[in-house]
């Protein structure tokens, strides 16, 4: 008895060329997917960093602005000058003076004899804090507040 085997039945595996081709295509797909995921993660970290910097800066500025709106007198800086420290008097005597300053990269607020309270966290570093008194004699106080916020890496 003689059985004839066709060419289709003989080829049950892959040739070396097919195997190399499939491995190459798989490697390209994995590489592209990995690069996409890395880019996505980098963008996420960047967006979180920007959000943190914005949030910290806005929060500190909001507290300073609200305190200035409620202040009765601007003690320092003097009219027409600038300083790294802002001192104001509030209506409530126990809060006098209320002072804003910069210490080790953190904006602090001190009300009266209370200990200083940090307005910014350890996630950012504040630099170049400057208060410029733009008030005119006989008018409500006007203070320009500037500072730089940098994310800690």
pLDDT in tens, the chain (153 residues): 565 655 555 567 778 888 899 999 999 999 999 999 999 999 999 999 999 999 999 999 999 999 999 999 899 999 989 999 999 999 888 889 999 999 999 999 999 999 999 999 999 999 999 999 998 877 778 999 999 999 987
pLDDT at 139: 75
pLDDT at 152: 86
DSSP character for 144?
A: E
Identify the bridge partners of residue 137 per DSSP, sorted by sequence position. Answer: none
Count of domains observed in the chain: 1
Query: Is residue 46 in a domain?
Result: yes
Task: From residue 2, give the alpha-carbon distance in Å to each of 5, 10, 12, 24.
Answer: 10, 16, 21, 42
Query: Is residue 5 in a domain?
Result: no
**Of 110, 107, 89, 84, nearest to 99 (Cα)?**
110
Which residues 6+ apart lie within 8 Å of 148 measured at CB?
A: 126, 127, 128
Query: Is residue 10 in a domain?
Result: no
Where do we find the tokens 């990269």? Answer: 105
Distance CA 77, CA 86 (A): 6
pLDDT at 136: 84
Distance CA 23, CA 151 (A): 43
Identify the bridge partners of residue 88 per DSSP, sorted by sequence position. Answer: 74, 98
Instruction: List the domain range (segments joined by +) for residue 142.
Output: 16-151
Query: Is residue 9 in a domain?
Result: no
Distance CA 2, CA 59 (A): 90
Query: Is residue 129 in a domain?
Result: yes
User: Do 114 and 90 form a contact (C-beta atoms < 8 A)?
Assistant: no
Distance CA 86, CA 94 (A): 17
Query: Is residue 53 in a domain?
Result: yes
Query: Is residue 11 in a domain?
Result: no
Helix (H, G, I), strand (E, B) or coil at 104: coil
pLDDT at 10: 59
Query: Is residue 120 in a domain?
Result: yes
């Amino acid at each position: 008895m003689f059985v004839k085997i066709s060419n289709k039945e003989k080829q049950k595996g892959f040739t070396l060329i097919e195997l190399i081709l499939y491995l190459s295509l798989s490697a390209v797909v994995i590489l592209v997917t990995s690069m996409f995921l890395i880019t996505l993660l980098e963008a996420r970290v960047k967006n979180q960093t920007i959000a943190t910097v914005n949030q910290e800066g806005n929060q500190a500025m909001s507290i300073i602005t609200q305190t200035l709106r409620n202040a009765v007198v601007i003690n320092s800086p003097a009219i027409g000058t600038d300083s790294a420290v802002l001192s104001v008097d509030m209506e409530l005597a126990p809060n006098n003076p209320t002072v804003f300053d910069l210490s080790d990269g953190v904006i602090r607020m001190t009300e009266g004899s209370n200990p200083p309270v940090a307005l910014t966290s350890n996630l950012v570093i504040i630099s170049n804090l400057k208060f410029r008194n733009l008030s005119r004699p006989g008018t409500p106080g006007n203070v320009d507040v500037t500072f730089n916020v940098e994310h800690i890496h």
